[in-house]
Structure 1
Amino acid sequence: MKMWSSAFEFLESDSSHALDIMWISDSRSSQEMEKPPLPRDEDVPGMADNQSAMTLVSDEGAGPDEEVGQGEDRPAWDSKLQYVLAQVGFSVGLGNVWRFPYLCHQNGGGSFLLLYVMLLLLIGVPLFFMELAAGQNIRQGSIGVWKHISPRLAGIGYSSCVVCFFMALYYNVIIAWALFYLGSSFQYPLPWQQCPIEHGTNQTVKECALSSPTSYFWFRKALDISDSIDQSGEFNPVITGCLLAAWVIVCLAMIKGIKSSAKVMYFSSIFPYAVLFCFLIRGLMLDGAIEGLTYMFFPKLEIWGEVQVWRQAATQVFFALGLGYGSVIAYSSYNPINNNCHRDALMVSCINFMTSVLASLVVFAVLGFRAKNIALECVVENVSKLSEMAASGTAQHWWPWFNMSDPRSVELKDYQEWFKHYGSVPGSNITDCNLEREMNKGVEGTGLAFIAFTEAMALFPASPFWSALFFLMLLNLGLSTMFGTMQGILTPLMDNFKLLGRHRTLLTVISCILGFLIGLLFTQRSGNYFVTMFDDYSATLPLMIVVIFETISVAWVYGADRFLDDVEVMLKWRPPAIYKYMWKYVCLLAMVGLLAASLLRMFFKWPTYTAWNHNTGSESSLGYPGWALVMLALLIITASLPVPAVYIHSLLTHKQEQSQAEGGAEHHREQYSKCSTNEPELNNHHSAPDEDGSRPRSVFLPGASEHYRLLSQQEEEEDDTEL
């Protein structure tokens, strides 16, 4: 513990850098001498490094020039429901629909669920509660919160803003894809239901015949994708138009801050749940749904011994709650000071997990239906081959016992039973039609939403209705997350830079225009490969670094006990002491371990991406070229650089100020005397709040063991006489 304390002592000494010393004039004097102001405590040679002034600031007493963000003009949520919907809308995103089910399926089903719940309680909830409490108490965005604890830690907030901007760039492209598919759903039959015919011939387009109608529509009609990231190609005009529409929607929703975006949240956060329940009811009625759910939740306890599974589960917890983006802090900063943020942390985390489970039920009910249809088509094809063989030859002992004259009447289990005993006899052209193998072809991300799910929905009765409903759900999931991401950019900038705060509308419009212009990178023919790059590398490592430093800031620099003291002042009750140990040890060590595992994986596994080959109609894994690796590294460095850069800048500035103050420090020191912190107005930081709640709350600033006050002329003369 001494090692941690000494390592961060110099950070704590700078925590009061943003405040002036509190002046206390002696009431016995009728006239005070005019004397130069006292230098900040770090510039006074006689003051210890860990001694700094602490002040209590009430909500009413915060002046316009103070950086506590508690001004009366700060926006607020109209209701608690708006706030909860905003937090749920941000944390419940596309990853809950197309990432969590895939991980659950690939990593042991029910066993992965148990592991995920355990890590959610040990890591996710404590860190989520920490961000909620920090934002609600200090009432600023991510930059202001960490700058308030220590100016040297402001880089944490800047890194969060950069990561949010990177995420907004590619996330809105996914929303644009959803818009394109939503518009394409209003026709019958669906355009991805069957392969097109080449002009001038009656033959199916070769690329579609080699793949599938849904894959062809996604890669060729929607993306018009190139064969590699090196082949950029021209811009896709349709997707560019959809991207412009997506940014216009975001801009209009964000232009008035939470006052406008909160209204949209009522629909964008609730509608996806209505759609998921509709799909669940419809999916459970499909043939193959039970097989899909059984396959998903079948436990494989041996996976608990694999490091890769732990890494994936921890990463999913990390991203599912939106930790490190600054959006959680931004949303909670608009709460009233006495809001029960502890209950919010538990509630939002629980809703997030239940949404992931609900989405998994829907996905695997539908994918089970899709897999069984593929397996049954395989049975029909193979039974037809056997029927032809039987017609041209003599009877054999291995002839199937089922009716080969009607292939579609053959049950899957009967065919599999026959193949188990005699499948190797007819030859290699007869396959096993394995349902489990089809389920093992697990897909995630865009492949799940735009290929596998669209293929299944094409088999539904009234398929255009279900398709439009599904992509409208994806659109709303994406928009609600996008609103939180933009809030994580705009709120810190407006809180930290007053000029930007006075021109919110202009800042929002410029941010959206800039996002659209840079986002044109993703509308090229190679744009999908850049989306993959940004999704894999622009956020993962930088966000882990951000959360590690957030935890260090609260648990070690500021102090976990004092943080809980401040939360007690807000909530009027003290959260369990277990949080102290979770923040200081469990969460911090888990995040460091996750960062180390991610770095090792990056160094020992060459970065690759999945490319589409139009000649073979299939996907293949390719390594990034040299220039793409440089771009990849720049993404990580750009997002992570503000943390050390701001720290070094603050350290150099502090040393420069210290050296400039050394010459006149002794002269100024002679004009001041020490006063004890036993005075009640200076030493009530850790006292219990009054029952009526009238005591002003404390801001997150380190305490001090001694203070200085300006002496009156009379008292100074009396002291000189005594000497």
Structure 2
Amino acid sequence: MYFMELVMGQYSGKGPTAVWNMNPSAKGIGVSMALISLIVAIYYNVIMAYTLFYFFSSMQTNLPWMECKDEWYQYGCVEKTTPNIPYCSFNMSVNYEKFNDTACRCFENSTFHMSSYLDPLGFNCTNTTWKGDEPVAVAQLFFDKAVIEKAPTLKIDEMGAPLWKLSLCLLLSWIVVVCCLIRGVKSSGKVVYFTATFPYVILLILLVCGATLDGALDGVIYFIVPKWEKLLDLKVWVAAAGQMFFSLSVSFGGIIMFGSYNKFSNNVYGDAMLIAVMDVVTSLIAGFVIFTTFGGMAKKLGMEVKDVAKAGYGLAFVAYPEALSQLPVPQLWSVLFFFMLFTLGLDSEFALLETILTCIQDEFPKTRKYKSYMCVGFGIVCFFLALPCVTPAGDYVVTIMDHFGADFSVLFVATCECMAVMWVYGARRFVRDVEYMLGRPPRPVFYWLFCWVFCSPILIGLLFLYRMIAYKSPEISKGVPYPVYGQVIGWVLTVIVMSPIPAFFLYKLAKAKGSLMERLKTITTPTPAWGPNDGSDKRTLYNENLQDTKFGIDNPASPKY
């Protein structure tokens, strides 16, 4: 699908909405892509604000996620853990005691490992491993209590005001994005030379550091040795498909948008292959970086790698900061790491915001001369729309936007996109367009036709149906689903994202004239505006009398053209 979308954009020179001149009935797909990009752009910049918060927090003598604050001990805060120490139980009547000026922080009815014996009058239990209830790492409490100040539950009347520190980080993030995009793709393209290469430098440095840790090999083994029984779990495949869509930005509209800025004769096939391969290579490098560090952490803590590894926010803002704190000069590595995360986020934000702007400019060409003003305006609007995401309940808002606005909705859009192109516009026409643009069809042509016509729409459609049938609400905490009104808001967001597809189809159908079949033919026939972006005579490209006897497809590369 990545190759298909690049071809659509490069061949037509149009963005995600105007490209559907190939099949006017499917214009709603482009609108849905723009809406998904808008939703993701809003909450994704909130995550970038988190990285800026950590970036500035790293510039301290002591990293704030290395030390428990007094008020955090009531939540089970643990700074470090020491393995393989005999344990004993204490029933403490108070949460805080002092013996000979040595701080001893324990909890009522808790069982823990003693880290050391000082003397008969006292002991130090600051660094302990809980035997009973699971402790809470100081890095987790720093994120929950100091960064997002997470509310205990999602209540509209208790969301609270935007947190001023996060709001400033969010404002700075949007200012950087707008400044980089204000002059269009050309200016953002120059920035990408740095933002796309700098992360590799940091990843390689962190890989070397991680490989030197004791226990790094355990992490690598956990990373590369597959658990075959997991391959039988359909949830794994659904999660993998979702990650692939998000990683490559398939069906978000960004690929079509970037393709529309390519030269008409650009080797889009090579670009698609290179991006796909580099995506896999980057994922592998990042995986080795992460799991070598996790292996070192697990060895030091006397735990299994699987117990150290975390996903989602826990990976970027809990587990990895904790791992970085174990390296020499942790402030330096933390600054570099979170600067790297911010630059990675910039690339995604460029694509998301530029997709929306391109859609507007394609539909209203007169707005092109106001591109700078539009960019600033969208930045301001999106900043204010994102303010609920930086309140104490903002973490729940971000989850709703991600889960309902840009998760299985993308699978629905992708299914409709495949069918609209390959089943309605026609796979033969599409291959012919590729051949006209590149001078040869994609090879092997039957493989691509099989993937485009059968595999992609059917498999993605089945994945979408599975996600809908096996729907599970996001959780406030383990075993506690979101309240009904929170889920209703989420489903309303889903309907808003997906409704343009049937809405535009019905609108075009009602507007057309003639019988039902005549109307269907009218709204699915390419408009006069559809054609190659090379200035050629577009009408001759649809002469059905010219056939390629070798491939059985229309061949506009014929000398007769």
Does structure 1 residue 222 correspond to structure 2 residue 91?
Answer: no
Does structure 1 residue 651 correspond to structure 2 residue 520?
Answer: no
Kindly provide the CA deviation profile for residues 152-190 of structure 1, in whole angstroms up to 9, marking residues without a partner as x.
211000000000000011100000000010001111221
Aligned to 1:266: 193
Q: Which residue identity is paired with 2:64?
A: P
Superposed, 1:506-655 pairs within 5 Å as 506-576=373-443, 577=445, 578-602=447-471, 605=472, 607-611=473-477, 620-655=478-513
Once residues 589 and 215 of structure 1 are traced to their aligned partners in structure 2, the CA distance between those partners, rounded to angstroms, is 41
1:468 to 327, 335, 342: 335
Once residues 680 and 472 of structure 1 are traced to their aligned partners in structure 2, the CA distance between those partners, rounded to angstroms, is 52
2:257 to 306, 325, 330: 330
Contact preservation (8 Å) 1:177, 1:242: yes
Q: Which residue identity is paired with 1:595?
A: F
2:475 aligned counterpart, secondary structure? strand
Aligned to 1:351: 278
Aligned to 1:342: 269
Aligned to 2:19: 145
1:339 aligned counterpart, secondary structure? coil
Aligned to 2:532: none
Once residues 299 and 244 of structure 1 are traced to their aligned partners in structure 2, the CA distance between those partners, rounded to angstroms, is 43
Go from structure 1 to structure 2 and tell me whether the alpha carbon gap of 1:362 and 1:517 turns closer, same or farther (over 3 Å shift). Answer: same
Once residues 270 and 682 of structure 1 are traced to their aligned partners in structure 2, the CA distance between those partners, rounded to angstroms, is 43
Aligned to 2:169: 242
Q: Which residue identity is paired with 1:309?
A: V
Q: Which residue identity is paired with 2:557?
A: P
Contact preservation (8 Å) 1:198, 1:204: no
Q: Which residue identity is paired with 1:512?
A: G
2:10 to 111, 136, 153: 136
Kindly provide the CA deviation profile for residues 678-723 of structure 1, in whole angstroms up to 9, marking residues without a partner as x.
x9898377344267xx95xxxxxxxxxxxxxxxxxxxxxxxxxxxx
Q: Which residue identity is paired with 2:68?
A: C
Aligned to 2:557: 689
Q: Which residue identity is paired with 2:456?
A: C
User: In the TM superposition, what is the alpha-carbon distance from 1:497 to its structure 2 partner?
Assistant: 1.3
Q: TM-score, normalised by structure 2?
A: 0.81
Aligned to 2:112: none
User: In the TM superposition, what is the alpha-carbon distance from 1:234 to its structure 2 partner?
Assistant: 2.4
Go from structure 1 to structure 2 and tell me whether the alpha carbon gap of 1:369 and 1:150 turns closer, same or farther (over 3 Å shift). Answer: same
Go from structure 1 to structure 2 and tell me whether the alpha carbon gap of 1:688 and 1:640 turns closer, same or farther (over 3 Å shift). Answer: closer
Kindly provide the CA deviation profile for residues 536-570 of structure 1, in whole angstroms up to 9, marking residues without a partner as x.
22112221111111111221111101110111010
Long gaps (5+) in structure 2: 73-95, 108-125, 128-134, 520-538, 547-553
Kindly provide the CA deviation profile for residues 249-288 of structure 1, in whole angstroms up to 9, marking residues without a partner as x.
1111111111111111011111011111001011000011
Aligned to 2:130: none
Q: Which residue identity is paired with 1:641?
A: S
1:485 to 352, 355, 371: 352
Does structure 1 residue 279 correspond to structure 2 residue 206?
Answer: yes
Aligned to 1:212: 137
User: In the TM superposition, what is the alpha-carbon distance from 1:500 to its structure 2 partner?
Assistant: 2.5
Once residues 142 and 358 of structure 1 are traced to their aligned partners in structure 2, the CA distance between those partners, rounded to angstroms, is 32
Q: Which residue identity is paired with 1:591?
A: I
Contact preservation (8 Å) 1:196, 1:204: no
Once residues 363 and 134 of structure 1 are traced to their aligned partners in structure 2, the CA distance between those partners, rounded to angstroms, is 36
Superposed, 1:151-162 pairs within 5 Å as 151-162=24-35
Does structure 1 residue 257 correspond to structure 2 residue 219?
Answer: no
Once residues 212 and 520 of structure 1 are traced to their aligned partners in structure 2, the CA distance between those partners, rounded to angstroms, is 28
Once residues 581 and 163 of structure 1 are traced to their aligned partners in structure 2, the CA distance between those partners, rounded to angstroms, is 28
Go from structure 1 to structure 2 and tell me whether the alpha carbon gap of 1:681 and 1:212 turns closer, same or farther (over 3 Å shift). Answer: closer
Kindly provide the CA deviation profile for residues 650-703 of structure 1, in whole angstroms up to 9, marking residues without a partner as x.
111114999xx9xxxxxxxxxxxxxxxxx9898377344267xx95xxxxxxxx
Aligned to 1:88: none
Superposed, 1:39-50 pairs within 5 Å as none
Contact preservation (8 Å) 1:196, 1:205: no
Contact preservation (8 Å) 2:435, 2:555: no
Go from structure 1 to structure 2 and tell me whether the alpha carbon gap of 1:322 and 1:204 turns closer, same or farther (over 3 Å shift). Answer: farther
User: In the TM superposition, what is the alpha-carbon distance from 1:584 to its structure 2 partner?
Assistant: 0.8
Aligned to 2:49: 176
Q: How many residues align?
A: 476
Tell which deviates more after alignment, 192-201 or 153-162. 192-201
Once residues 529 and 471 of structure 1 are traced to their aligned partners in structure 2, the CA distance between those partners, rounded to angstroms, is 23
Superposed, 1:486-501 pairs within 5 Å as 486-501=353-368
Once residues 503 and 314 of structure 1 are traced to their aligned partners in structure 2, the CA distance between those partners, rounded to angstroms, is 38
Aligned to 2:318: 451
Superposed, 1:356-375 pairs within 5 Å as 356-375=283-302
User: In the TM superposition, what is the alpha-carbon distance from 1:134 to its structure 2 partner?
Assistant: 0.5
Go from structure 1 to structure 2 and tell me whether the alpha carbon gap of 1:153 and 1:204 turns closer, same or farther (over 3 Å shift). Answer: farther
2:192 aligned counterpart, secondary structure? helix
Once residues 542 and 401 of structure 2 are traced to their aligned partners in structure 1, the CA distance between those partners, rounded to angstroms, is 49
User: In the TM superposition, what is the alpha-carbon distance from 1:318 to its structure 2 partner?
Assistant: 2.4
Go from structure 1 to structure 2 and tell me whether the alpha carbon gap of 1:162 and 1:206 turns closer, same or farther (over 3 Å shift). Answer: farther
Once residues 371 and 225 of structure 1 are traced to their aligned partners in structure 2, the CA distance between those partners, rounded to angstroms, is 27
Once residues 251 and 493 of structure 1 are traced to their aligned partners in structure 2, the CA distance between those partners, rounded to angstroms, is 17
Contact preservation (8 Å) 1:532, 1:609: no
User: In the TM superposition, what is the alpha-carbon distance from 1:303 to its structure 2 partner?
Assistant: 2.4
Once residues 596 and 657 of structure 1 are traced to their aligned partners in structure 2, the CA distance between those partners, rounded to angstroms, is 32
Tell which deviates more after alignment, 183-192 or 299-308. 299-308
Aligned to 1:166: 39
Contact preservation (8 Å) 1:156, 1:549: yes
Contact preservation (8 Å) 2:206, 2:289: yes
Once residues 132 and 521 of structure 1 are traced to their aligned partners in structure 2, the CA distance between those partners, rounded to angstroms, is 35
Q: Which residue identity is paired with 1:558?
A: Y
Contact preservation (8 Å) 1:239, 1:523: yes
Once residues 370 and 279 of structure 1 are traced to their aligned partners in structure 2, the CA distance between those partners, rounded to angstroms, is 14
Once residues 344 and 682 of structure 1 are traced to their aligned partners in structure 2, the CA distance between those partners, rounded to angstroms, is 27
Contact preservation (8 Å) 2:308, 2:319: no
Q: Which residue identity is paired with 1:481?
A: S
Go from structure 1 to structure 2 and tell me whether the alpha carbon gap of 1:688 and 1:655 turns closer, same or farther (over 3 Å shift). Answer: closer
Aligned to 2:68: 195
CA RMSD in angstroms comes to: 2.5
Tell which deviates more after alignment, 133-142 or 537-546. 537-546
Go from structure 1 to structure 2 and tell me whether the alpha carbon gap of 1:157 and 1:681 turns closer, same or farther (over 3 Å shift). Answer: closer
Once residues 367 and 444 of structure 1 are traced to their aligned partners in structure 2, the CA distance between those partners, rounded to angstroms, is 12
Q: Which residue identity is paired with 2:510?
A: L
Contact preservation (8 Å) 1:608, 1:621: no
Once residues 193 and 681 of structure 1 are traced to their aligned partners in structure 2, the CA distance between those partners, rounded to angstroms, is 65
Superposed, 1:69-148 pairs within 5 Å as 127-146=1-20, 148=21
Aligned to 1:504: 371
Aligned to 2:81: none
Q: Which residue identity is paired with 2:435?
A: E
Once residues 542 and 240 of structure 2 are traced to their aligned partners in structure 1, the CA distance between those partners, rounded to angstroms, is 46
Aligned to 2:119: none
Kindly provide the CA deviation profile for residues 298-318 of structure 1, in whole angstroms up to 9, marking residues without a partner as x.
222222222222222222222
Kindly provide the CA deviation profile for residues 28-50 of structure 1, in whole angstroms up to 9, marking residues without a partner as x.
xxxxxxxxxxxxxxxxxxxxxxx
Q: Which residue identity is paired with 1:467?
A: S
